[in-house]
Structure 1
Amino acid sequence: MRVLVIDTALDACTAAVFEDGRALGVRTELMARGHSERLGGFVRDAVAEAGGGFQSLDRIGVTVGPGSFTGLRVGLAFAQGLGAALDLPVVGISTLEALARSKEVQSSDLGVLAAIDARRGQIYFQSFHGDRADAPPEALDVDEACRRFLKPRSFSWSLVGSGAPLIAEALSRHWPETNPRSAKDEPFSSEALTSLIRNPTVEALAALTAAHDPATHPPTPLYLRAPDATPPTRLPGQARPAAVGA
């Protein structure tokens, strides 16, 4: 199966073509803004490098969140438009699941905590064991996530995502004697946070695109909290309402 994957959910813009787990064309760049200006060119170049043209694709995968409100909509709109034009199924991929899939776990007993910095003291959070999620994704206060999922002296988790440093800092605040660890293989050590996976790998995105059923994983945005932006209370040029008691 040949798949095109698109990811604009976080601070990277990625387009890649894979066939049966093998990368044929990859374009990715770290960026906090400007996904809409770069994505079309990235898709064009990745497909051209892969050869065979757009008609050789079997399906499209796109990250649906959680993540940046604007970035998500850029990737989703592009993927859905391209899928409609090519009459191809489009698979929605959870950003948290893709992050967890990006981590190589050495032991089957070691879980993966995927955490994305949601700002305002919160993280988007989900835990996994193997290919199975333990619970639905949530938006949690960092301290609450630590209290619910992490216990001192019994770390059996590996961290991925931009929210991991927030969790490590909270752990050092709650249990300073247990964090950070010095061993390089400890999930909360300074070495582990330095090499932290902050964006899903193209390999993980391609594997999930090929594995998931488009019928059960539609390209629908996954928002875990309301957007920060609010609609205007008056139209342009409209006078402000008079103050009460004026």
Structure 2
Amino acid sequence: MTTLLALDTATEACSVALLHNGQVLSHYEVIPRMHAQRLLPMIKRLLADAGVPLSALDAIAFGSGPGAFTGVRIAIGVVQGLAFALERPVLPVSNLAVLAQRSLREHGAQQVAAAIDARMDEIYWGCYRAEQGEMRLAGVEAVLPPERASLPDDSSGDWFAAGTGWGTFAARIPV
């Protein structure tokens, strides 16, 4: 079985998760501007709680954004250091893709319009479609004003709205 460490610091939340023997254990805290101080202790606590040594990791995944630039850099730095020391592969994962995959898993959504509030009156935007149980990007991920968001040209059917961008800008997103 694969043992995978995953972490995300792209938003105000800081999260770490461990997949080990088919089970997922995670820690999550909303800690604006504290990611650099809390991430390594969170990883250490997670591994201790699971009884898994760092050397048992097969790979390390991280939320590669879009999101806060400094937060993404923190994740990249920690992952790069761990992966280099352990000689393990790194798996970058789009935060928009994670939203889409969660929408499929939790709501059965087959088409997802993911939007994250990018601040400064913009959103991070991506559209995804389910293919064989996994969400696939339908187009490109982008940062843009909410009014410029659009569904793929070949879209039909219902689209599921996911992410913080919908809470902030729903009235301005023209889809």
* Interval of TM-score (by shorter of Structure 1 and Structure 2): 0.7 to 0.9
Instruction: Please state how far the C-alpha of 1:170 moved relative to its aligned partner.
Output: 1.8
Instruction: Please state how far the C-alpha of 1:62 moved relative to its aligned partner.
Output: 0.7
SS at match of 1:149: coil
**2:62 maps to which residue?**
62
Residue pairs, 1:145-184, within 5 angstroms: 145=149, 148-149=150-151, 156-170=158-172
Structure with the bigger RCO (C-alpha within 8 Å, sep 6+) is: 1
Q: Which amino acid aligns with 1:13?
A: C
More strand by share: 2
Structure 1 residues 103-152: Cα deviation after superposition (integer angstroms, max 9, x where no partner): 134354xx11111111222111000011211011011210111xx339xx
Residue pairs, 1:26-175, within 5 angstroms: 26-103=26-103, 104-106=106-108, 108=110, 111-130=111-130, 131-145=135-149, 148-149=150-151, 156-170=158-172
Distance 2:42 2:147 in 1: 39
Structure 1 residues 63-89: Cα deviation after superposition (integer angstroms, max 9, x where no partner): 111100111111110011011111111
User: Are the counterparts in 2 of residues 7 and 14 from structure 1 also a CA contact under 8 Å?
Assistant: yes
Following superposition, which runs of at least 4 residues in structure 1 exceed 2 angstroms of deviation?
A: 104-108
**1:17 maps to which residue?**
18
Instruction: Please state how far the C-alpha of 1:16 moved relative to its aligned partner.
Output: 1.4
SS at match of 1:75: helix
Distance 2:61 2:95 in 1: 12
- Give the alignment's Cα RMSD to 1 decimal: 2.0
SS at match of 1:4: strand
TM-score by length of 2: 0.86
Instruction: Please state how far the C-alpha of 1:14 moved relative to its aligned partner.
Output: 0.8
**1:8 maps to which residue?**
9
Instruction: Please state how far the C-alpha of 1:157 moved relative to its aligned partner.
Output: 1.3
Identify unmatched segments of 5+ residues in structure 2: none
Q: Which amino acid aligns with 1:6?
A: L
Distance 2:109 2:52 in 1: 39
Residues paired across the two proteins, number: 165
Q: Which amino acid aligns with 2:3?
A: R
Instruction: Please state how far the C-alpha of 1:155 moved relative to its aligned partner.
Output: 7.1
User: Are the counterparts in 2 of residues 4 and 61 from structure 1 also a CA contact under 8 Å?
Assistant: yes
Seen in structure 2, the aligned counterparts of structure 1 residues 21 and 133 have a Cα distance that, compared at 3 Å, is farther
Distance 1:155 1:4 in 2: 36
Larger radius of gyration: 1
Structure 1 residues 5-51: Cα deviation after superposition (integer angstroms, max 9, x where no partner): 0100112101111125421x321101221100000100001111111
Distance 2:86 2:108 in 1: 40
> What fraction of aligned residue pairs are identical, expressed as a percent?
33
Q: Which amino acid aligns with 1:12?
A: A
Instruction: Please state how far the C-alpha of 1:91 moved relative to its aligned partner.
Output: 0.8
Identify unmatched segments of 5+ residues in structure 1: 176-246
SS at match of 1:60: strand
Distance 2:46 2:165 in 1: 30
